[in-house]
Structure 1
Amino acid sequence: MTTDLRVLRQTEWNVWYDNLIRAFGGVPESSEEREMFDALTDYDRSLGFWDGDQCVGTAGAFVFRLTVPGGASVPTAGVTMVSVAATHRRRGVLTAMMRRQLDDIRSWGEPLAALTASEPEIYGRFGYGIGTLQLNAEIDTARVKLSVPPGTDDVCLRYAAPADVLDACEAVYARVVPTRPGMLARQPGWERIGTLDPETERHGASPLQCVVAERDGEVVGYARYRVTPGWSPSGHDGTISLEDLEGVDVPVHGALWRFLFGLDLTTKVRTRGRPLDEGWQHMVSDIRRCNLRVKDSLHLRLVDVGAALEARTYQAPVDVVFEVEDAFCPWNEGRWRLTGDAKGAVCVRTEEAADLALSVRELGSAYLGGTSLTSLAGAGLVRELRQGALVEASVGFGSAVAPWLPHGF
């Protein structure tokens, strides 16, 4: 048989998507999920690897805009639906798709590529670094108390059907997007991800529930969650699974978290995929009983080093020359001089002596400000060639708030 790597044809989508589902275990998705991802798939940005008439590899790239330090919204390829059939492992299928995809992303003029990884070890060799982390927690609300900030009592909450308040919730989300690196400006169709509620995903929990927060008649926040009822010999033991929570300011967050802590017949709040620095951690009486766990989230790659470093701002002045290694995308290799501050930046090629040496993977990890170059240097991944350059660059690349990816793709 002959192999063929090509752009996906619309008539091939079902076969292509079935191969993806099989690669992830073969459990069928709900018709609601499948229909949504069919509608979101951009065929011109999706690749299929074919062995004769068999689809043995898949890869796609959504059109996204990613918030970077300074608040700019930067064109980003959302790499997704990557799979290789188990019958075709170690034959170069994945490498061929990654090669073609990054060449395409460069040609589209998108300086960043981002993904969430089912297996984190896979993508480092293609230049992706871990750009954001996420916080998971299981809070014992029977024993942990919450102290809310001033202004919380000015916020009113009401129940609403998730679909009925979708537009209002999306307006809140849009207000928050520029305030935190790593957030995605939602493109048309992506608003549905917050209200997907297939019964197969509930695992004994209630249908998706929603409360909206209002102040002076305006919706300023929301929480979406499920409740799993439970009873023990001691009484009620229900669990709240928080799916999504956003608010425009601190009192709104206080009101929403107080609501979750106080729901009748529950003793636990489980969260997943929350920001590392979320304020509720400083409202609780006992952080140990919140069972915190950190996990990798967004993996980020600089497709165009110069354009990417110019797209963000820097919280302290930087003037540093990077010696960049990038064997997979050799157009990035060499020396780049970055000069920038909180107002903007310029990054150009240079023949000047390098101050720091690193690979594009480390730049991806540090880009959103969640991982310091100093920390990477502590692992031997960044080398300081000019004394003082490491601290200067580390401070400049930092972010006042932790970068965070609000949802997967």
Structure 2
Amino acid sequence: MNPEVRAVTASDVPDWLRARNTGFLQAPAVSEQEVANRLPHYDLERTRGVFDDGRCVATFRSFAQELTVVGGATVPSDAITNVSVSPTHRRRGLLSAMMAADLAVAKERGDVTATLIAAEYPIYGRYGFGPATWITEWEIDLPRAGLDPRWSGPSEADGGRIDLVDGADVRKLGPALHDRLRARQHGAVDRGDRWWQLRTGQDLPLPDTWTEPYYAVYRSSDGEVDGLLAYRVDGKWGDAKQPLNRVNVLDLIALTPAAERSLWHFVCSIDWVTTVRSGYRAPDDLLPLLLPDPRAARIVTQADWMWVRVLDVVRTLEARTYAVPAALTLEVHDPAGLSGGRFRLDVSPAGASCAPTTRSADLALDVRELGTLCLGDESALRLAALGRIDELTPGAAAVTDRVFRAARRAWCPDVF
């Protein structure tokens, strides 16, 4: 039989979850409780599978997302997740078929971009995705960091305070705080109620795997919640009864430098803790330079993170802001036929306009490279040097670099 690509039904979900687990090298068995807990939160019209002789052999799911672009505006995005192909059915074009179906519907629906977190680097460029945000994770050697061990809270000059809270407090305070963050952090995505439930142990698909973290909030002098921290501690001790505990930061949101400084100092000052893992942060995070000895923060992970696929060139480029005035004509190649063409882009700090044009192009690039550039995190000059964009007008790559680059790095705090 020829494998069939289609949307799943409710009765398919147990088999679909088994196939997804197989693809992600997880235990394939699926309990009735897991199915019951996951099913209400899946949009089955956007949950696809490939079925061969009645058995699911590949999985794909998408959901609605808001992506923050440079300047703080958001665009509707098609967030892709749970992509897998069983080892018995690799190299048969199954992912290509599922991806083509999903992106075509997303384009018709009016989504401006598609996004995903790539488990493997080489896969998604051929579908028009480019790495648009990166992450860095540090491990801090606290005895070397040089922080004052007598620290007992934010300074009097700061006027803020840190309080430990529980999951119910996080569900109450977290959403508004994160909305404030994503209004200023390009690359961030929205977090729905389900995100907060899962991260605080409510209605879990596999509740027996849950370990309650610690939560702390930073309140400014006027009582405003400007920061949130979630962390776990591993509880290790050495043979000589010396503490060797490590804090693993799960989430840290800070809206002000005072909140960021205080939360990092707090988590680095917990008794018995000798090491802190920062979790995935923006590559230009303040963290290392908040330490008296920044070399105490060792990079343990540095990698691409969220990939972006442009579905609507005009809306993508008009949604964001630009720091300098310029005019460029871009030739965008899209082998899938979803968003290619030649576009005139006129920008200034006051706004941007983008429209199809017949003018000669200044720069030619694949839609993959446009995805890499659109959040301001990559250099057009670097891409030109790599041969990944073609400069048709002398100096156009340098102009593109000045136009697209943002003052701070893009960052997506979430995996999805």
TM-score bracket, normalised by the shorter chain, equals: over 0.9
**Distance change >3 Å, CA 376–CA 339, structure 1 → 2:** same
Question: 2:234 matched to 1:228?
Answer: yes
In 1, Cα distance between equivalents of 2:338 and 2:131: 22
Question: In the TM superposition, what whole-angstrom CA distance separates every residue of 1:59-80 from its partner, at most 9, and x where no partner exists?
Answer: 1111000000111110000011
Question: In the TM superposition, what whole-angstrom CA distance separates every residue of 1:26-75 from its partner, at most 9, and x where no partner exists?
Answer: 33689998766433321111211111211111111110000001111100
Question: In the TM superposition, what whole-angstrom CA distance separates every residue of 1:360-388 from its partner, at most 9, and x where no partner exists?
Answer: 11111111011111121121111211122
Return the offset for 1:191.
2.1
Where in structure 2 are the equivalents of 1:71-86 lying within 5 Å?
Answer: 71-86=72-87
CA contact (8 A) 2:62 2:81 kept: yes
SS of match in other structure, 1:190:
helix
**Distance change >3 Å, CA 109–CA 190, structure 1 → 2:** same
SS of match in other structure, 1:251:
helix
Question: In the TM superposition, what whole-angstrom CA distance separates every residue of 1:218-277 from its partner, at most 9, and x where no partner exists?
Answer: 322111000011222561111000000112211011111111110000100002211122
Question: 2:314 matched to 1:306?
Answer: yes
Where in structure 2 are the equivalents of 1:238-249 lying within 5 Å?
Answer: 238-249=245-256
Where in structure 2 are the equivalents of 1:268-307 lying within 5 Å?
Answer: 268-292=275-299, 293-307=301-315
**Distance change >3 Å, CA 150–CA 363, structure 1 → 2:** farther
1:187 counterpart (184, 188, 192)? 192
CA RMSD of aligned residues (A): 2.3
**Distance change >3 Å, CA 159–CA 67, structure 1 → 2:** same
CA contact (8 A) 1:115 1:298 kept: yes
In 2, Cα distance between equivalents of 1:33 and 1:275: 33
SS of match in other structure, 1:207:
coil
SS of match in other structure, 1:143:
helix
Query: 31-40 vs 64-73, which deviates more?
Result: 31-40
In 1, Cα distance between equivalents of 2:70 and 2:34: 32
Where in structure 2 are the equivalents of 1:75-154 lying within 5 Å?
Answer: 75-146=76-147, 153-154=158-159
CA contact (8 A) 1:152 1:254 kept: no
In 1, Cα distance between equivalents of 2:175 and 2:371: 29
Question: 2:172 matched to 1:164?
Answer: no
Return the offset for 1:303.
1.3
Residue type matched to 2:132 in 1?
G
SS of match in other structure, 1:291:
strand
Question: 2:347 matched to 1:340?
Answer: yes
**Distance change >3 Å, CA 317–CA 242, structure 1 → 2:** same
CA contact (8 A) 2:67 2:188 kept: yes
- For residue 12 of structure 1, what is the aligned residue in structure 2? 12
CA contact (8 A) 1:19 1:85 kept: yes
Residue type matched to 1:403 in 2?
A
2:333 counterpart (325, 333, 350)? 325
Question: 2:381 matched to 1:380?
Answer: no
**Distance change >3 Å, CA 319–CA 227, structure 1 → 2:** same
In 1, Cα distance between equivalents of 2:338 and 2:123: 22
Question: In the TM superposition, what whole-angstrom CA distance separates every residue of 1:81-103 from its partner, at most 9, and x where no partner exists?
Answer: 11111111111111111111111
SS of match in other structure, 2:259:
helix
SS of match in other structure, 1:180:
coil
Return the offset for 1:397.
0.6
Return the offset for 1:201.
6.0
In 2, Cα distance between equivalents of 1:404 and 1:340: 23
SS of match in other structure, 2:411:
coil
Unaligned runs of 5+ in 2: none
CA contact (8 A) 2:13 2:35 kept: no
- For residue 357 of structure 1, what is the aligned residue in structure 2? 364
**Distance change >3 Å, CA 357–CA 96, structure 1 → 2:** same
In 1, Cα distance between equivalents of 2:268 and 2:172: 26
Return the offset for 1:287.
2.5
SS of match in other structure, 2:145:
coil
In 2, Cα distance between equivalents of 1:278 and 1:181: 14
**Distance change >3 Å, CA 408–CA 60, structure 1 → 2:** same
SS of match in other structure, 1:164:
helix
SS of match in other structure, 1:232:
coil
2:181 counterpart (165, 176, 183)? 176
CA contact (8 A) 1:337 1:348 kept: yes
**Distance change >3 Å, CA 233–CA 26, structure 1 → 2:** closer
SS of match in other structure, 1:58:
strand
SS of match in other structure, 1:377:
helix
Residue type matched to 2:200 in 1?
T
Residue type matched to 1:212 in 2?
V
Question: In the TM superposition, what whole-angstrom CA distance separates every residue of 1:276-304 from its partner, at most 9, and x where no partner exists?
Answer: 22222221122222111311110110012
The count of corresponding residues between Structure 1 and Structure 2 is 405
1:408 counterpart (401, 408, 415)? 415
CA contact (8 A) 1:134 1:272 kept: no
SS of match in other structure, 1:64:
strand
SS of match in other structure, 2:401:
helix
SS of match in other structure, 1:392:
helix
Query: 272-281 vs 89-98, which deviates more?
Result: 272-281
CA contact (8 A) 1:67 1:74 kept: yes
Return the offset for 1:160.
1.3
Query: 106-115 vs 289-298, which deviates more?
Result: 289-298
Where in structure 2 are the equivalents of 1:193-208 lying within 5 Å?
Answer: 193-196=198-201, 207-208=212-213
Question: 2:272 matched to 1:265?
Answer: yes
TM-score (norm 2): 0.91
SS of match in other structure, 2:279:
strand
